[in-house]
Every structure is written in structure tokens, then in C-alpha cells.
Amino acid sequence: MHFRLHRCDGQARRGELTTAHGTVQTPVFMPVGTRASVKGILPSQLEEIGFEIILGNTYHLFLRPGCEVIGEAGGLHRFMGWRRSILTDSGGFQIFSLEALRTINDEYVEFQSHIDGTRFRFTPELAIDVQERLGSSIMMALDVCPKLPATTDELRLAMDRTSRWAARCLAARTSANLLFGIVQGGTDPQLRRQHAATLTSMDFDGFAIGGLSVGEPVAAMYETTAVVAPLLPAEKPRYLMGVGTPADLLHSIAAGIDMFDCVMPTRNARNGSLFTRDGVVVLKQARYRSDHRPLDEECSCYGCRHVTRAYLRHLYTCGEPLSVVLNTLHNLQFYADLIAGARQAIVDARYARYMDEMLTRMGSSADRSPGETP
């Protein structure tokens, strides 16, 4: 068994996922390394924080440097110097986001490179072939992520294509790498139930909930997650793609989700927006100019142990490269600590209390979407 469920506290789950590259404790947050690099941080620093898995992106790596180059290097792990697990997104979200540069039919998606305009055809079979050449620990089936809001007919078309492509991905797999299917259906509970039933009848190693955190109201995302998660097999990992804020993680763990990824901690770090247990600190604000307190007294990252808010603000306003490093270290440490606390709370059968306490401490800043500031 590649997934063992150790403990449940309500719907919240504490488990252990085993891949070809190690063991991952769940719930887990995966830092995003789209182009074989988590921005602003060394692989060794990710390991020191405690991350056991990161995310890469098939679409971007297919374009640059190309799976041939990565294959010649011995796979993505050797290419980027990361020894632990890697999950690769199949490119479905890029198909969604490059709407003006692509066309889709039942057989393939044809897209124009955002880099140089070159046209490519991506099939489910090619998505698996590329991920196998990358040596991904966990591969994702190619899916169609519909833009929201969408009509019922548009959602059904995306679901049907995703289902057909899922079967083709399974048939194309030649490696022992884990492969996850992706449930679509927008925020329509009935469509989500239908698609979950279709996907879970297939022999995937895990299941993801896709098509959320794409502009729908936060309440709708939580409601949809709560509907879909219990429909997915209890003995397999559940992954909520592209999510999210600290509040998103806490609410979704309570709904039974095991895995998350999001650019928010690293992107916000570059923008000078830092998470603390008592709310978000936005470094450009003048009130931090002479604030000589640690950023977060309970955090163990280098910045919180050695420098002050005033220094972090100075680096950020001057555009010093060290600002990105220290801010990224902190935000990723915060996310790692938040999830580690959730895992322990589930073991201790006190997850609901832990979630309430953290949401209260963080306040309204806990549920800001990426890029938003107070």
C-alpha cells in the first residue's frame, strides 16, 4: 500500500504516503517549483524546514529546458538537486490559463507557447510520456479545467473529456510512478458527484479535486470540497489542487483533504507580505520602519531568530535580494509549522479546536487570496 491512514479526527485525516523517493507525512503542503526551482530558496533549505515533497509543472518543463535535457541529466530529481518526492502537474491548469493561445478537441489540446509562439499538440499520452521521462514521483492525469462561472453544458463537456483523457492516461502509463486522477464539475454538487463516481471507478493511486480556487467565492470552494472529499476512496490520498491560504488549508483538512499546493507563500514573500500567527505583516507599511521586534516570536526561521521587522522592511524597500530569501524562508516555515500543527492535532483528537484557535489568532488575514494585502 502506498498510502496508510493512521488516524481520523472527524473528517480530518493523518496519514503517510510512500513514493519511489521517500515517505510523505500527510496532511502535507507542497511548495511550488514550477520550473524545477522553488523561487528564492535552496533545495537544502527546503529539506531543513522539513518539506518532503514539492511540485513541478509538466507544461513549463516541456517548453524549457525540454524533457530530453532533463532525461539526459537522469531525471528531474538529479537535474534540480532534490532527493525527495516530486509531484508534477500535467499542464491542465496551463490549458485553462492560456485560453487565448489554445484550442481543445476530444483528441488533444493544441497550444501556442507563451515564450516564442511555437505551436504544440499535447495529448494525454504525451502528458504521461513527458512525466515519466521527468521521473516524477507522482504524475497527474491530463484534465480540462473549465473557466468559472460556466454553464452546465460547459462543465459536462470538461468532465467528459477529462474522463476520456483519464482512461487514456492510465493506458499510457508504463512506469511504477504513482498516477492521480482529477475530479472536475465546477461548483455544481450533482456534477461533482457524477464525476467523482466516474473517476473513482478507475484504478488511480490517488485523486485530486481540480477546478477550484479559480475565482469562485471562497464559501463555494469550501462547500464543494466538503461534498467531494468524502466521495473519494478513504484508502487513497486526496489532493486539493492550487489551494491556498492558511484558512483554506485548515478548512479543507477538516473536510478530509490530505495534500495541497499553492504559489501563495513564495509569491507573497517576494511581494513583502509575510504570514505570522497574529496576522499578515506587509513590509511596505511605514509602521514597521522602526519595529525592532522579531517578525514572529514563535517561528524558528533564520529571520525570526536573528533580525527584526525593521531590518526586513529595510531589505524589502531597498530591493535587496536577501529580502526574497529571508521572506521566502519565513513564509514556507509558517506553512510547514501550520500543517505540522494540524497533523499533531489530528493525532491528539483536537483538530477542531486547533483550527478555531489558529483562525482566531490569524484573523481575517488568514483567508486573503494570493496577491491581496490589507
Tell me which DSSP letter residue 286 carries: G
Element (H, E) at 9: strand 3-9
Catalytic residue among 9, 205, 258, 261: 261
Q: Which cell numbers in the block locate residue 366?
A: 488568514
Element (H, E) at 182: strand 178-183
Active site residue 203: no
Catalytic residue among 89, 248, 258, 337: 89
Alpha helices in the chain (DSSP H): 43-49, 58-63, 67-72, 76-80, 92-97, 124-134, 152-172, 189-200, 218-228, 246-255, 264-270, 302-306, 309-318, 321-347, 351-362
Q: Which cell numbers in the block locate residue 181?
A: 486522477
The span from the CA of 249 to the CA of 335, in Å, is 9
* Paired sense of beta strands 22-26 and 12-19, if any: antiparallel
Active site residue 89: yes
Tell me which DSSP letter residue 263 carries: S
End-to-end CA distance of the chain: 45
- Give catalytic residues, as residue numbers: 89, 261
